[in-house]
Structure formats: structure tokens, C-alpha cells
Amino acid sequence: AQSVTQPDIHITVSEGASLELRCNYSYGATPYLFWYVQSPGQGLQLLLKYFSGDTLVQGIKGFEAEFKRSQSSFNLRKPSVHWSDAAEYFCAVGALEGAGSYQLTFGKGTKLSVIP
Amino acid sequence: DTGVSQDPRHKITKRGQNVTFRCDPISEHNRLYWYRQTLGQGPEFLTYFQNEAQLEKSRLLSDRFSAERPKGSFSTLEIQRTEQGDSAMYLCASSLIGGRTEAFFGQGTRLTVV
């Protein structure tokens, strides 16, 4: 079964600074990878996804992520953080299991705080 | 299409009562997922449907939890004899069939058991 690890529970950055949120996954084959963002009391919004091909993927709100198979990582980056980016970020891995079953597994999340 | 819709958004119930939540997925989506999220944690998978078939339900937290999707459209999640530990956000998501597809989430139902 697949799993996702987000090593950083809470990160604080200054507005305008760069950001990198870490995500490591465990899965035997090539996974489908996602980053979601969640504002307090709200559902999850998809930021970006990786299925195959170019390992650097662009998402909404200026975010990007890079898939590194050798490191089993899918880190999220943004060159300049805005105060409105303060939220919780979740990395997820999707995988087809036996008998056509599909599993979408989430990490525990990284809470991002932005200092004005 | 307005996306995934969940009802109610908030539910306060007394311990021991039964509660039922509804999820309306994006209309063309075949898959529907239920997740539970407790404070400070990521979404925890509960169950999912492909059309009206419930393909995975072993992760339902106990036999007090059940889900249905009778006609392959909307779904309900029921919790019987609620306990304080059931207090959480219950999230519904939907997607197309296949591996290369993303799940779209609703706003969630916040359950508080008092």
C-alpha cells in the first residue's frame, strides 16, 4: 500500500520569500501525485498534479512541483509567497490497486504561516 | 456545474444519535469518495464508490459507519450511535474513472458530537 510523508508540520515564511514544502511517497510503481491546499474550515482545492512526462509541473497560484523518482519526492515550490498563501497543504498519491480499485492517500499536511 | 456539494455544512448532535450526511458529486463523475479529517491531520480514507458499486469499505472506522450510493449519483454517509470521537470534518470527493484523474472535493460537513 502507498503512503505519504510530509516531514514539516508547520512552516513560517516572510511574505515575498521563496517556499518549498516537502513530500515523500512510498509506492512500488509510478504513482499519480497531487498537491492540495485547504483554508480553515474549507474543502481541499487542487493545486497541481503529476501523472507522467515532464517532471516539473506547473499549477495554479504560481505553484510548481518537481517529481524526483530517485528520491521518491514531489516537493512543492513557490518563488515568492503572498500573505494569501497561508493555509494547510496536503500531498497525496493515487494508485491503482488490484481489481481496478483506486486509492488516494494523503499526507498529514504542512501548515504554512506567512509573516507580513 | 457547481462542483461537489455536501449537506449539511455543520451538524451538532448528541452522543448516541444517528446522523446522515449527503454528497452530490460532479454530474459526470463515476467515482465518489468519503474521507474523515480530524484536527491537524490529513484526510483519512473511509470508502469509495464506482458508479453504484462500493468497491472499498474495509477502511470504514467501525460497523457504525455505512455509506450508500443507490443510483450512482448522490451518496449518503451514516453514522449510528455517534460517539464524541466521531467529531470531525467529513469530506466527499468525486472523480472520473481511471488513474490519471484528479479528485474534486466538497466543502465538507463538520460534525460535533456533544
Report the percent of chain B where pLDDT is more than 70.
99
Cα gap A22→A111, rounded to integer Å: 12
Choose the closest CB to A44 out of B55, B100, B105: B105
> Who wins on pLDDT, A40 or B106?
B106
- Enter the DSSP assignment of A2: -
> Which positions 44-63 of B are in contact with A (Cβ < 8 Å)?
44-45, 48, 50, 55-56
> pLDDT band for position B78 (50/70/90)?
very high
- What digits encode the pLDDT tens for the residues B18-44? 999 999 999 999 999 999 999 888 999
* Contacts within 8 Å (CB) and 24+ apart, B62-68: B67/B34
> Above 70 in pLDDT, residue B75?
yes
> pLDDT band for position B1 (50/70/90)?
low
| Three-state secondary-structure class, residue B91 | strand
Q: What is the pLDDT of residue B44?
A: 92
Neighbours of A35 (CB within 10 A): 26
Instruction: Calculate mean pLDDT across residues A3-18.
Output: 96
